[in-house]
Amino acid sequence: MKRTTLSLILALSLMLTFYNCKDDDGPELPNGAIQLPSYAQRTGDPSAGYDYLVYGDYVGHGVPYQAYVTAMGTGQNRLDRTGDNANVAYDFTAVDAPNGVRVVAANCFSCHASVFRGELVVGMGASEANFTSDQSELIPTIDLGMNVLYGNPSDEWDAYEPFRRAVLVVGPQTVLQARGTNPADKIAAVLAAHRNPNDLSWSEEPLITIPDVVPPTDVPAWWHMKKKNTMFYNALGRKDFARFMMSSSLLTVKDTVKAREIDTHFADVLAFIQSLEPPVYPDALDSSKIAEGEKIFNDNCSQCHGTYGDVETYPNLLIERNVIQTDPYVLDVYNTHTQFADWYNSSWFSKPPYDAFIQPEDGYVAPPLDGVWATAPYLHNGSVPDLETLLDSSKRPTYWKRSFVSTDYNMEKAGWNYSVESGPSTSDVYDTTLLGYGNQGHYYGDQLTEEERAAVLEYLKSI
Ligand code: HEC
Ligand code: HEC
């Protein structure tokens, strides 16, 4: 028998084995992929959820309303809100503190809404936000104003104090090294450390030890949640999503009595988030290039990212670190320091009927890509400025700088306009050599030709 014939027979028998496996075990998963299980979710009313997001008291302490308006003015609302909230920036909400004092507190939109190309887009990650300085440095100035206006003790000071003490603890521990990255994971861990897991009461001393490091993450778009079986980049958010989302209230919530009340609204918030649609690419696209790109995408990418258009599928896969090869730092943090996960899994948040739990994995979720043209920068740590460089790793800049002007967006390359810098400088420069900020991995576009990549890019703009 000729060598080639032998190889052919071998190849055929291998294929047969492959198809047999397929029959037995369901669809074949890509190498290094784990199928993420789905969990039943509470249902709710999207419009009530939106109202609660922009008027609700899930963060119930802050700076008195009058002081806020005097210091900040009444511009920048951008939402169609009424009453006092017409005078407050979109990422803040005027609410009554438990003692009746009207205060202004940060809301979810400080991270989950963004002014993009001049328009506020609800659900888009705030990739312009700046967490590169210690937020607690503002506290002495606010204290000064509070003392002049209201004195201490006063009802106003009581309404401010839970916010003040949280910022003093969180601020120094959540300083990032590149503007545009977000420290939400670390904020949650620091707040948990200062809360009794059973009744959520505040403890001035930390009750668990958490690592010093601040893993940088890019804020994911909310409109993907309707497809996802788990929350967060490493799929750690399991079971009740609403319970996870209300964790933001840990900033100032007094106890589990208030937490339970807040929790009842988050089924509606989830329904609102699941109702969001991605932004549509507004400029002209080349339809024959899209058709070509779709074919290449379906052959090379959809096994992990799903299909789009008439037949929507999404496989909900997590890809192990050695296969995806993107920066593993955030995985290391969760896998080597389990105190936060242990806190969560024994806390009020883990109690039925709407229990949630944390299960860190050693890899990243292959995310849905709806509206991906608008969500630069890319990868879980926001290390890649545009889709062109995401698809061709040889072009990814080591040091890059953007203007942080919302209109400075490159519609061709689907990402931020940037300049390549020769080395680190201010925090406006994204330094991919820092621990956790690496731009390596996800080499799937590299194996395509220049033309194929251009076609895939055109296709990605259309989904
Ligand atoms: C300080 C910034 C910040 C605030 C405030 C914030 N988030 Fe997030 N949120 C993030 C970041 C960053 C992630 C991604 C973290 C990760 O995956 O490791 C995230 C993840 C999520 C996800 C999961 C998305 C996904 O694809 O897995 C949801 C849903 C969400 N947040 C909802 C909310 C809601 C609702 C609020 C307000 C109650 C809120 N967040 C407040 C920064 C924030
Ligand atoms: C083996 C599975 C797998 C394949 C194949 C794959 N990807 Fe991915 N992709 C992932 C994972 C996992 C991530 C998240 C990595 C991270 O954030 O560290 C990702 C991230 C992305 C992102 C960034 C999303 C964002 O919002 O930051 C884009 C865009 C993308 N992939 C496009 C593609 C394209 C186009 C192809 C085909 C050429 C492809 N992928 C092939 C698993 C895969």
**Ligand 1: does its nearest atom lie under 6 Å from the Cβ of 108?**
yes
Q: Please choose, from the candidates 125, 192, 142, the residue with its C-alpha nearest in 3D space to the C-alpha of residue 371.
A: 125
Q: What is the reported pLDDT for 162? A: 97
Task: State in Å: Cα 313 to ligand 2 middle.
Answer: 15
Residue bearing tokens 């052959």: 299
**Residue ID of nearest Cα to ligand 1 atom 33:** 245
Residue 48's nearest CA partner among 193, 299, 265, 241 is 265
Q: How far is CA 459 from CA 16, 165, 206, 309, 366, in A?
A: 34, 49, 49, 11, 18
Cβ of residue 442 lying under 6 Å from some atom of ligand 2:
yes
Whether the CB-CB separation of 342 and 382 falls below 8 Å is answered with no
Q: Which residue owns the Cα nearest ligand 1 atom 7?
A: 111
Binding site membership of 248 for ligand 1 (Cβ less than 6 Å):
yes
Amino acid in the structure at residue 266: F
pLDDT at 13: 47
Ligand lying closest to the C-alpha of residue 376: 2
Q: What is the pLDDT of residue 82?
A: 95
Contact yes or no for 355/243 (Cβ under 8 A): yes
**Cα distance between residue 327 and residue 442, in whole Å:** 10
Q: In this structure, which long-range contacts are made by residues 114-117, counting pairs with CB atoms below 8 Å and at least 24 apart in sequence?
A: 114/406, 115/78, 115/406, 116/279, 116/374, 116/406, 116/409, 117/406, 117/407, 117/409
Phi-psi category of 382—alpha, beta or left, where left has phi over 0 and alpha has psi -120 to 50? left
Ligand 2 centre distance from Cα of residue 442 (Å): 6
Tell whether ligand 2 has an atom less than 6 A from the beta carbon of residue 380.
yes
Q: Find out whether the beta carbon of 195 lies less than 6 Å from any atom of ligand 1.
A: no
8 A C-beta contact, residue 363 and residue 321 = yes
Q: Give the amino acid at 375.
A: T
The tokens of 119 are what? 């328009």
The answer, yes or no, to whether any atom of ligand 2 lies below 6 A from the CB of 235, is no
Please state, in angstroms and as integers, the Cα–Cα distance from residue 399 to each residue in 3, 438, 457, following that order: 51, 11, 23
Ligand 2 centroid distance, CA of 75 (Å) = 39
**pLDDT for the residue 123:** 98
Low-confidence ranges of the chain (pLDDT < 70): 1-27
Instruction: Identify the CA nearest to 364 among candidates 318, 309, 416.
Output: 318
Q: Given CA atoms 46, 47, 50, 56 in this order, what sign does their dihedral have?
A: negative
| Cα separation, 368 vs 302, whole angstroms | 10
Ligand 1 site, residue 130, Cβ cutoff 6 A: no
Q: Which residues contact 255 (CB under 8 A, 6 or more apart)?
A: 199, 200, 201
CA distance 265 to 48: 8
Whether residue 126 has its Cβ less than 6 Å from ligand 1: no
Kindly report the length of the chain: 463
| Cβ(132) – ligand 1 distance below 6 Å | no
By the 8 A CB rule, do 106 and 59 touch? yes
Atom of ligand 2 nearest to the CA of 324: 12
| CA distances from residue 217 to 52, 183, 278 in whole angstroms, order as listed | 26, 7, 20
Ligand 2 atom with least separation from CA of 372: 26
Sign of the torsion angle spanned by Cα atoms 63, 66, 70, 73: positive
